[in-house]
Amino acid sequence: MVMRKTMFLPVLLSVGGLAAVLGCAGKTRYDVPRIDLLTPVQAKVGASVVITGANFKSIDFVSFGGANAGYHVDSDSQITATVPATAISYSVSVVNPAGVGHSLTPFLVVPQITAISPESGPAATVITLTGSGFYDTTGVVIGGETPGASTFTYNDPNRVTVVAGSTSGPVVLTASGIQVTGPVFTVQ
């Protein structure tokens, strides 16, 4: 009786222009996604960001700081994603069945103030700022004055409350090291 050593090799399967490696059990083999570059590395909510890297064919989801984003897989090495409304300044993640790829460079969500409420009131009025990119808020200034000894409260990536001081003027918020100017608050 002659004994032979048998070895099972993976099989390459090509269907509709997509190639997949099948193992012995007939399962598709995936490689962990890798992110090399984000273009741009900072943008406002709703902006498009190009993610360049590898192993992007079978992506399950893309997230910006844990917030799932809408995306399109352009090729195995490029994805175009939209910065989601609840994105925070942190790494971008790409997930497929093999694992998670993270950007080595953090993505900065550029804050934007879309509204303040109320727009006027007496000193010590609590003002609600709405917009996006508020995650890493470090300060709020109204009319050049830091109100209430820098009293502000982070509520979520889209809402911050602040106590008005005694000066009228534009509301200026700093988040992720980026300063943005919003509407004017008028002290009555």
Residue 115 sits in the same domain as residue 182: yes
User: Contact at 8 Å (CB) between 107 and 45?
Assistant: no
Residue 77 sits in the same domain as residue 137: no
Residue 100 sits in the same domain as residue 121: no
> At which of 89, 108, 127 does a domain end?
108
Residue 88 sits in the same domain as residue 115: no
Per-residue confidence (pLDDT) for residue 27, from 0 to 100: 64
Per-residue confidence (pLDDT) for residue 25, from 0 to 100: 55
Residue 127 sits in the same domain as residue 160: yes
105-117 confidence digits (pLDDT tens): 999 999 999 999 9
Q: Are strands 42-43 and 108-109 parallel, antiparallel or unpaired?
A: parallel
CA distance 101 to 66: 13
Residue 94 sits in the same domain as residue 48: yes
- For residue 53, give its domain range: 31-108
Q: Are strands 11-15 and 18-22 parallel, antiparallel or unpaired?
A: antiparallel
Q: How many domains does the chain have?
A: 2
17-54 confidence digits (pLDDT tens): 444 444 445 567 789 999 999 999 999 999 999 999 99
Residue 117 sits in the same domain as residue 183: yes
CA distance 100 to 146: 42
What is this structure's pTM?
0.79
Residue 42 sits in the same domain as residue 71: yes
Residue 3 lies in a domain: no
Residue 77 lies in a domain: yes
DSSP summary character for residue 108: E
